[in-house]
Copies of this chain bind each other. A is one copy, B any other.
Amino acid sequence: MYLVKVYVTYKESILDPKGEAVNDALHRLGYTNVQSVELGKYFELKLAAGSRPVEAQVDEMCDRLLANVNMETYRYEITELEAL
Interface residues of A (CB under 8 A from B): 1, 7-9, 19, 22, 25-26, 29, 31, 33-50, 57, 61, 64-66
Contact = CB atoms under 8 A, between A and B. Distances in A.
A44 B33 contact: no
A38 B44 contact: yes
Given A64-B29, A65-B25, A65-B29, A43 B35 contact: no
A81 to B, nearest CB: 10
A83 to B, nearest CB: 13
Contact of A9 (B7, B25, B42): B42
A22 B43 contact: yes
Contacts of A65: 22, 25-26, 29
